[in-house]
């Protein structure tokens, strides 16, 4: 959820308590937080977590990963999008999610909604839709976690889990390891997806926060495909694994 910037900023800006503080003993709360306000004022937040140019063993490409929400402390509308656009050709992929989020624990949202994928390029365009059920939040030791279960329009089941961690080297220089795992219960050859573990992504990004809301970064990411997914990639003339150097921007509003 990229939570480090969200909850403290909203609590201070709105004069409201963080989730979970409503039931706390008012005598144990900070003086500025003893006046509880109802969850009636909506807020909005948008984060471009990754906007980067990647140079790897295949075609260099642009990648984005962004999300935002609008609502109160307990109920929110989430929008998420990510995709890739190769620089040297017209092939690309776009994913968009629209989700309802409900706070189920401090710093944790249960999310449900829909996902739409579209792939385009030299061949016929393809698209597909999913139902989504997931959780997103801040795990112990400040691991930012986003995990979701997807059921396609054809009944195919898949899973994605993303984990990030922010290591503050200084007040402005931040090292961010990132792990992403994708798996599927069924083979979907048209989309290059095999059953079982599909791929593993390990990334490391070093950013400098010129402002808290604006930070350029450089990094490296290793991607490895497995099983039938790797076979499909090789049959399509793509690598089953590669190492990419990258540079980009991280912004939030």
Q: What is the pLDDT of residues 174-227, one digit of tens each?
A: 999 999 999 999 999 989 999 999 999 999 999 999 999 999 999 999 999 999
Strand pairing partners for 181?
Answer: 161, 200
Alpha-carbon distances of 127 from 2, 175, 190, 228, rounded to whole Å: 29, 36, 11, 21
Per residue in 142-172, pLDDT (tens digit) is: 999 999 999 999 999 999 999 999 999 999 9
Compute the radius of gyration of the chain from its Cα atoms.
Answer: 20
> How many CA atoms lie less than 13 Å away from 197 in the CB half-sphere?
9
Residue 10 lies in a domain: no
Q: Are the CB atoms for 248 and 178 separated by under 8 Å?
A: no
Q: Which residues form the domain of 61?
A: 45-252
Burial of 209 (0-12, 13-18, 19+ CB in 10 A): middle
Residue 57 lies in a domain: yes
Return the HEC string of 47-91. Answer: EEEEEEEEECCCCCEEEEEEEEEEECCCEEEEEEEEEEEECCCCC
pLDDT at res. 88: 75
Question: Which residue from 130, 136, 164 is spatially nearest to 150, judged by alpha carbons?
Answer: 130
Residue 23 lies in a domain: no
Q: How many domains does the chain have?
A: 1
Question: Which residue from 192, 202, 195 is spatially nearest to 246, judged by alpha carbons?
Answer: 202
Look up the CATH number of the domain holding residue 139. 2.40.160.40
d(CA 224, CA 226) in angstroms, rounded, equals 7
Flag the least confident range among 32-41, 62-71, 136-145: 32-41
Q: Are the CB atoms for 216 and 207 separated by under 8 Å?
A: yes
Residue with tokens 């997806």: 193
Residue 226 lies in a domain: yes
Residue 33 lies in a domain: no
Q: Is the pLDDT of residue 13 over 90?
A: no
Q: Are the CB atoms for 175 and 164 separated by under 8 Å?
A: no
Q: What DSSP string describes 7-37?
A: HHHHHHHHTPPPTT-TTS-GGGS-GGG-S--
d(CA 161, CA 147) in angstroms, rounded, equals 4
Flag the least confident range among 103-107, 131-135, 150-154, 236-240: 236-240
Residue 132 lies in a domain: yes
Per residue in 71-127, pLDDT (tens digit) is: 998 999 999 999 999 887 778 999 999 999 999 999 999 999 999 999 998 778 899
Residue 16 lies in a domain: no
Residue 233 lies in a domain: yes
Which pairs with CB-CB distance under 8 Å and at least 24 residues apart come from 149-153? 150/115, 152/128, 152/188, 153/128, 153/129
Which H or E run contains 184?
strand 173-184
d(CA 178, CA 49) in angstroms, rounded, equals 11
Q: What is the model's pTM?
A: 0.83
């Amino acid at each position: 959820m990229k939570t480090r910037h969200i909850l403290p900023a909203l609590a201070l800006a709105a004069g409201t308590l963080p989730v979970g503080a409503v039931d706390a003993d008012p005598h144990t709360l900070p003086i500025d937080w003893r006046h509880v306000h109802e969850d009636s004022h909506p807020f909005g937040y948008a984060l471009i977590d990754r906007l980067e140019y990647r140079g790897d063993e295949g075609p260099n490409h642009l990648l984005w990963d962004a999300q935002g929400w609008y609502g109160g402390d307990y109920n929110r509308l989430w929008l998420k999008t990510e995709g890739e656009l190769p620089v040297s050709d017209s092939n690309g992929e776009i994913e968009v999610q629209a989700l309802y989020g409900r706070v189920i624990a401090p710093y944790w949202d249960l999310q449900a909604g829909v996902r739409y994928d579209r792939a385009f390029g030299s061949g016929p365009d393809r698209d597909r839709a999913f139902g989504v059920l997931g959780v997103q939040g801040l795990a112990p030791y400040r691991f930012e976690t986003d995990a979701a279960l997807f059921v396609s329009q054809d009944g195919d089941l898949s899973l994605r889990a993303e984990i990030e961690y922010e290591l503050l080297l200084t007040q402005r220089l931040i090292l961010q390891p990132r792990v992403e795992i994708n798996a599927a219960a069924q083979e979907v050859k048209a989309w290059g997806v095999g059953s079982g573990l599909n791929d593993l992504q390990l990334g490391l990004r070093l950013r400098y926060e010129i402002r808290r809301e604006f930070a350029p970064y450089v990094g490296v990411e290793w991607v490895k495909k497995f099983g039938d997914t790797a076979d499909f990639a090789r049959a399509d003339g793509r690598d089953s694994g590669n190492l990419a150097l990258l540079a980009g921007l991280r912004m939030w509003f």
